[in-house]
Amino acid sequence: MSFVRFGALAATALLSTVAMVGSAGAQEVNIYNARHYGTDQQLWDAFTRETGIAVNVAEANHDELIQRLVAEGENSPADIFVTVDAGRLALAAEKDLFASVKTPILEADVPAHLRHPDGLWYGLAMRARVLVYDKERLNPAELSTYEALADPKFAGKIVVRSSTSVYNLSLMGSIIAADGAEKAEAWATGLVANFARPPEGGDTDQLKAVAAGVGDIAISNTYYLARLLASEKPEEREIGEKLGVFFPNQGDRGTHVNISGAGVLKYAPNKDNAIKLLEFLVSPEAQRYFADISFEYPVNPEVKPHPVLAAFGDFKQDTLNAATFAANSLEASKIMDRAGWK
Ligand code: FE
């Protein structure tokens, strides 16, 4: 695998293996990046400007990168693994890929529920899994909790992506933690009975389906709606403007939130630089990037979200540790299978 430096090449390809990138003494850091947003190069460039440390990035999907890290073992050139969803970070942690890292900056800038208790990984940005509804056809006073979506009054009204999505596995993991496995399964069964159609597509497709009248309520991550609302395409803004956001469970544990996150790797050849990069990523400067370019909520409480997200309103977060709901994902998957959630 070779790294793409400064985005000089198309950023998606994994190429042939190199034993080690760069020469001894060179200041650099090597990232395996599974975020699929295509804009993260701006972040790496800013880090290099600030520290003089060159950034090399290999991008691929999370499964490929995790397999790669396992196969490379202690010969891996990678210093840090970046991905979305705590479920995927948990998978990498399970394979013992991360080093335990704790620094005063990381602990101050990242709230406790958005980082691994042993410092194996840290949240860099946050997203909430919310209910998005058609403002004309649904009165938000009808909505309350995730649990209430299993009420027969919502029959034929709910659209959501497949149970194989790590976003849904994590949500279900949080419901197992809150309600227990038995109630979680009854809930999933009731929810599936209320589907407007069998799951298809990603979160954006669910939002479009609600705007098109296929269903009245979508379960979606916040940034997908924010992207529609901030789109340069008038037809996308039009879709977004038909939709309202509802934060469930405000009267009890709060709305399920998840992270984009990263961990320093156990065999990192440039461990100090990786820690510097991690600290940079949670600094106010880099947090503005997550807020303004990828429409995620900053994890650093000092940084305000983008106005489009801020307009959704303040909300109470479920502060269940991301490592806990992620650890429930295998059980979540079995429950969703039994409930017939395709
Ligand atoms: Fe996503």
Identify the CATH number of the domain in which residue 249 sits.
3.40.190.10
For residue 311, being part of any structural domain is answered with no
Residue 62 Cα to ligand 1 midpoint, Å, equals 13
The helix or strand, by DSSP H or E, that contains position 28, with its residue range, turns out to be strand 28-33
**What pLDDT was estimated at residue 294?**
86
What confidence score (pLDDT) does residue 38 get? 66
134 and 112 in a common domain: no
Q: How far is the CA of 99 from the centre of ligand 1 (A)?
A: 26
Residues 220 and 291 reside in one and the same domain: no
CA of 133 to the centre of ligand 1 (A): 19
DSSP secondary-structure letter at 310?
Answer: H
Cα 329 to ligand 1 centre (Å) = 17
Within-domain flag for 23: yes
Measured in angstroms, how far is the CA atom of residue 195 from the centroid of ligand 1?
21
Q: Are 221 and 297 in contact (CB under 8 A)?
A: no
Ligand 1 centre to CA of 73 (Å) is 28
323 assigned to some structural domain: yes
Q: What is the pLDDT of residue 6?
A: 36
**Residues 217, 34, 327, 337, CA torsion sign:** positive
Element (H, E) at 174: helix 166-179
The reply to whether 233 and 250 lie within a common domain is: yes
Cα–Cα separations (whole angstroms), residue 37 to 123, 215, 295: 16, 27, 11
Q: Are residues 135 and 197 in the same domain?
A: yes
For position 139, what pLDDT does the model report? 97
Cβ burial, residue 230 (10 Å; 0-12/13-18/19+)? middle
How many angstroms separate the CA atoms of 13 and 16, rounded? Answer: 10
Q: What is the pLDDT of residue 35?
A: 87
Do 174 and 36 lie in a common domain? no
Task: Report the C-alpha gap between 192 and 234 in whole angstroms.
Answer: 33
22 CA → ligand 1 middle, Å: 32
Domain coverage including residue 155: 127-255+316-338
Number of domains into which the chain is organized = 2
Is 6 contained in some domain? no
Do 42 and 188 lie in one domain? The reply is no
Asked whether residue 24 falls in the same domain as residue 115, the answer is: yes
| Same domain, residue pair 166 and 239 | yes
Residue ranges of the chain with per-residue pLDDT less than 70: 1-26, 37-38
CA distances from 96 to 100, 188, 234 (A): 10, 32, 46
- Looking at the fold, whether 221 and 81 belong to one and the same domain comes out as no
Question: pLDDT value at position 5?
Answer: 44
List the one residue out of 203, 231, 236 whose CA is nearest residue 295. Answer: 231
Q: What is the CA(59)–ligand 1 centre distance, in A?
A: 16
Angle subtended at Cα 42 by Cα 41 and Cα 48, rounded to the nearest 5 degrees: 90
Strand 80-84 and strand 28-33: the pairing is parallel
pLDDT of 25 reads 54
Same domain, 120 and 131: no
What is the spatial distance between Cα 59 and Cα 297, in angstroms, rounded to a whole number?
23
C-alpha of residue 89 to centroid of ligand 1, in Å = 15
For residue 92, how far is its CA from the centre of ligand 1 (angstroms)?
A: 18
φ/ψ (deg, to 5) at 305: -70, 165
> Do both 297 and 286 map to the same domain?
yes
139 and 56: one domain? no
Q: Is residue 250 part of a domain?
A: yes
Q: How far is the CA of 220 from the centre of ligand 1 (A)?
A: 9
